[in-house]
């Protein structure tokens, strides 16, 4: 049983034994669903990266909309695209803090250290932005491997060979101008800078990345025996072994023929900017020559990188992997053999409509996503496997706090909750793409400290901007610094905060406790400080940092 399971009970979540599964859904008996308002909160956080608005909660409470309607509106929300980037980034792991080429090697960027973080994200998010645009525009998901366009922002748009508009800012659709074939993410610098190949690796590592990201087939996890093989310690013999040793051929019989497609990205010097930022079409014929194998996709011949996308689209593993990847991301755990029935529903949705929004609708319709607790029938393996409570990781926390309070934690140009070079992404439970590959699903000491600091700063920002500065209301609804406990405006504010932050109405005992906290703080300082203290406390509540 995870800590969150215990926490769910401690937080006053509904007693699983008293909740009946909806009669119309084929809900496994071991799971009980979240209350609608909390489910709306989960959907909003997962699909938009922000909390539901009070108006949305009002509509839900009044029965004017249901959670599925809200979910569909979230999928069409402008913030969906940004959230999709962060979500898929956990699976594709391209938001790393280091590439072979550093920002200082570009004269346009070298003079200012504040350019480092924007440069690294502009590179690493390119394939994610492409995928997110495909998802947001509800294009066929295979566009991610067949499209003739990519995405660039004002950093890479002016550095790389793309047709980024001269007067544009932000992420824009672009086309590379260096002759690379149409192959979606497979023809992006961002993906291949992250999954680079040394000169002598001949793109094989990149094929492993393609297989993992798009087929969910992880060559590196295979339990391959080399007991019958001879030593490959001598580098000069490696190529011979890869072509003739049966223990190597088990993987390389399929890896090497695919690797032939990527020689336009094969650099003569992997540290040279010109060599790795430009596509080299004249090297395409080298693949079959250097690897001594004909191009093929698991036995189906091809002639160009442009063929790879359609072949992937036709491969049934692509559909399976799309369903499995998104389910894992939204379930916040690896999909397992026990998930077969629900994954089949997701895949069926894909077969009917091969678009990512259809997949996300299917996943979020499922009982595993909507679970908020366990029934008495749950076994120990059920308790261990299912995630009925999610935890805000640092990037999602950053998104929520930015929307709620306008607070953005930055230092020397580094986003403190979305990077690690000078930030706290991993300490706050996030994925760095290299060493941490799954977001934290249980509280840790460093996560608590990150939450504490972020909550304190966000609360201060909100009070300073809204209550002292008279700015637009975001965290607060209508309270002023003149209102005190017992005033109607004060009470209304607490109710609104509880609903907005936690998705439910407060109990009287909670209101009393918060009023006491506010009063104690006000007695020592003033009303502004009392609201800073109160809001910071509310933002650290388990009901806020879980969903």
Partner 1 sequence: MLLFLPLSMSCGPGDAEVAAEACETQSAGWDGWGRGFFTTWCGACHSATTADRRGAPVGSNFDSWDEVWAQRARIEERVLVDESMPLGGGLSEADRAELKALLACDDDAASDPGDESVIPPASLDAAGVAARADRVVAGGIPFASAWFDGFVDILMAHADPTCPEGANAPPYAIRAAIEGCVTADGWMFSGLTLRETTAEGTGVREVVVGDGWGRDPEGRSLVFGGELEWWGDGTGADALWESRIDGTWGYEGAPGWQGEMPSLSFAAAGAAAEATLDGGIAFVGAVVYFDALRLDAAVCPGSIAGGGLRVRDDAGYWTTLTFDEDCSACGAATFADGSSIGTVCVDPAPLWASLVGYDP
- Binding-site member from 293, 530, 536, 545 for partner 1 (CB under 8 A): 293
Find the helix or strand (DSSP H, E) in which 206 lies. helix 204-210
Which residues pair with residue 105 across a beta bridge?
none
One of 28, 49, 157, 257 touching partner 1 (CB under 8 A): 257
Q: Outline where 260-315 has alpha helix (H).
A: 273-277, 286-291, 305-314
**Which residue of 158, 317, 438, 453 would you call a contact of partner 1, by CB under 8 A?**
317
- Neighbouring residues of 302: CB distance < 8 A, sequence distance ≥ 6: 261, 295, 296, 308, 311
Check residue 386 for interaction with partner 1 (CB under 8 A): no
Compute the distance between CA of residue 172 and CA of residue 227 in angstroms, rounded to an integer.
Answer: 51
- Chain centroid to Cα 351, Å, comes to 24
Verify binding: residue 381, partner 1, rule CB under 8 A. Answer: no
> Residues near 543 by Cβ (< 8 Å), separated by ≥ 6?
11, 501, 502, 504
Task: Give the DSSP per-residue string, 442-468.
Answer: S--HHHHHHHHHHHHHHHHHHIIIIII
Kindly tell me which of 184 and 395 has the beta carbon lying closer to partner 1: 184
Least distance in angstroms from the C-beta of 304 to partner 1: 4
CB 104, min distance to partner 1, A: 5
Q: Binding-site residue total for partner 1 (CB under 8 A)? A: 78
Least distance (Å) between residue 411 CB and partner 1: 22
Q: CB of residue 506 vs partner 1: minimum separation in angstroms? A: 42
- Nearer to partner 1 by Cβ, of 165 and 316: the residue is 316
Based on CB atoms, which residue is closest to partner 1, 14 or 140? Answer: 140
Residues 324-343 touching partner 1, rule: CB under 8 A, are: 324, 335-337, 339-341, 343
Q: Which of 78, 107, 470, 508 forms a contact with partner 1 (CB under 8 A)?
A: 107
**Which residue's CB is nearer to partner 1, number 317 or number 474?**
317
Structure tokens at 241: 């072994």
Instruction: Rank residues 298 and 422 by Cβ distance to partner 1 and give the closer one.
Output: 298
Smaller CB separation from partner 1, 157 or 287: 287
Between 313 and 466, CB nearer to partner 1:
313
Burial pattern 278-312, b for ≥16 Cβ within 10 A else e, equals bbbeebbeebbebbebebbbeeeebeebbbbbebb
Annotate 34-75 with DSSP letters as a single string. PPHHHHHHHHHHHHHSSPPPHHHHHHHHTTSS-HHHHHHHHH
458 binds partner 1 (CB under 8 A): no
Site string for partner 1, 138-177 (x = CB under 8 A): ----------------------------------------
The answer to whether residue 301 forms part of the interface with partner 1 (CB under 8 A) is yes
110 part of the interface to partner 1, by CB under 8 A: yes
Cβ(256)–Cβ(204) below 8 Å: yes
- Beta bridge partners, 150, equal 174
Please, which of residues 171-210 interact with partner 1 by CB under 8 A? 178-182
Q: Which is nearer to partner 1, 40 or 101 (CB)?
A: 101
Length of the chain: 547
CB of 140 to partner 1, least distance (A): 15
Contact letters for partner 1, residues 41-70 (x by CB under 8 A): ------------------------------
Helix 36-48 to helix 67-75 angle, to the nearest 10 degrees? 10
Q: Which residues contact 445 (CB under 8 A, 6 or more apart)?
A: none
The answer to whether 519 contacts partner 1 (rule: CB under 8 A) is no
Taking the least distance from each CB to partner 1, the nearer of 222 and 505 is: 222
Residue 104 within binding range of partner 1, rule CB under 8 A: yes
**Which of 7, 114, 168, 286 touches partner 1 (CB under 8 A)?**
286
Candidate list 268, 449, 489, 520; residue touching partner 1; CB under 8 A:
268
**Residue number, 264 or 429, with CB nearest to partner 1:** 264
Residue 524, exposed/middle/buried by CB under 10 A (0-12, 13-18, 19+)? exposed
Residues 393-432 that bind partner 1 (CB under 8 A): none
**Whose Cβ is closer to partner 1: residue 248's or residue 358's?**
248
Selected from 272, 444, 491, 540, the binder of partner 1 by CB under 8 A is 272
- Using CB under 8 A as the binding rule, the residues of this chain from 215 to 254 that contact partner 1 are 215-217, 222-226, 246-251, 253-254
323's CB contacts (< 8 A; 6+ apart) are 343, 346, 347, 349, 350, 359, 362, 363
Listed in sequence order, the residues at least 6 apart from 384 whose beta carbon sits closer than 8 Å to its beta carbon are: 1, 2
Question: Do 54 and 477 meet the contact criterion of CB atoms below 8 Å apart?
Answer: yes
Which of 53, 200, 230, 303: binder of partner 1 (CB under 8 A)?
Answer: 303
The residue within the footprint of partner 1, chosen from 133, 278, 357, 532 (CB under 8 A), is 278
Closest separation in Å from C-beta 331 to partner 1: 13
Those residues whose C-beta lies under 8 Å from the C-beta of residue 24, and which sit 6 or more positions away, are none
């Amino acid at each position: 049983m995870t800590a969150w399971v215990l926490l769910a009970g401690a937080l006053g979540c509904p007693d699983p034994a008293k909740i009946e599964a909806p009669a119309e859904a084929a809900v496994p008996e071991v799971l009980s669903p979240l209350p609608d308002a909390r489910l709306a909160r989960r959907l909003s956080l997962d699909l938009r990266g922000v909390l539901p608005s009070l108006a949305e909660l009002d509509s839900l409470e009044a029965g004017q909309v249901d959670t599925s309607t809200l979910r569909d509106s979230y999928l069409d929300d402008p913030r969906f695209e940004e959230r999709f980037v962060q979500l898929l980034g956990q699976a594709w792991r391209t938001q790393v803090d280091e590439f072979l080429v550093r920002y200082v090697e570009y004269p346009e960027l070298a003079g200012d250290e504040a350019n480092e973080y924007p440069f690294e994200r502009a590179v690493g998010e390119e394939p994610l932005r492409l995928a997110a645009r495909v998802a947001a525009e509800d294009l066929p998901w295979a566009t991610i491997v067949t499209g003739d366009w990519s995405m660039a922002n004002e950093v890479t748009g002016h550095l790389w060979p793309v047709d980024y508009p001269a007067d544009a800012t932000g992420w824009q659709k672009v086309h590379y101008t260096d002759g690379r074939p149409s192959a979606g993410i497979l023809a992006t610098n961002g993906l291949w800078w992250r999954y680079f190949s040394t000169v002598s690796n001949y793109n094989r590592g990149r094929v492993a990345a393609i297989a993992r990201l798009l087929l969910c087939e992880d060559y590196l996890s295979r339990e391959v025996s080399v007991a019958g093989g001879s030593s490959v310690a001598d580098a000069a013999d490696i190529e011979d072994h890869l072509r003739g040793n049966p223990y190597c051929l088990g993987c390389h019989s399929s890896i090497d023929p695919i690797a032939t497609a990527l020689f336009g990205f094969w650099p003569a010097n992997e540290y040279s900017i010109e060599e790795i930022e430009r596509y080299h079409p004249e090297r395409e014929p080298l693949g079959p020559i250097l690897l001594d194998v004909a191009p093929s996709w698991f036995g189906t011949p091809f002639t160009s990188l442009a063929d790879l996308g359609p072949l992937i689209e036709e491969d049934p593993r692509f559909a399976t992997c799309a369903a499995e990847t998104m389910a894992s991301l939204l379930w916040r755990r690896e999909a397992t053999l026990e998930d077969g029935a629900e994954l089949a529903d997701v895949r069926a949705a894909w077969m009917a409509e091969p678009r990512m929004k259809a997949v996300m609708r299917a996943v979020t319709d499922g009982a595993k996503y909507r679970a908020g607790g366990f029934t008495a029938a749950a076994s120990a393996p059920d308790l261990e496997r299912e995630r009925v409570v999610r935890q805000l990781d640092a990037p999602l926390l950053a998104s929520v706090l930015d929307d709620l309070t306008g607070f953005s934690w930055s230092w020397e140009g580094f986003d403190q909750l979305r990077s690690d070079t000078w930030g706290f992404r991993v300490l706050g439970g996030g994925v760095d793409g290299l060493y941490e590959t799954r977001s934290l699903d249980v509280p840790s000491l460093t996560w608590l400290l990150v939450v504490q600091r972020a909550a304190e700063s966000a609360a201060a920002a909100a009070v300073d901007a809204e209550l002292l500065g008279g700015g637009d209301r975001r965290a607060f609804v209508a309270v002023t610094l003149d209102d005190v406990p017992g005033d109607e405006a004060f009470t209304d504010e607490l109710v609104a905060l509880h609903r907005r932050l936690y998705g439910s109405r407060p109990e009287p005992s909670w209101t009393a406790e918060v009023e006491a906290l506010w009063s104690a703080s006000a007695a020592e300082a003033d009303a502004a400080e009392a609201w800073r203290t109160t809001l910071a406390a509310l933002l650290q509540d388990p009901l806020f940092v879980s969903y």
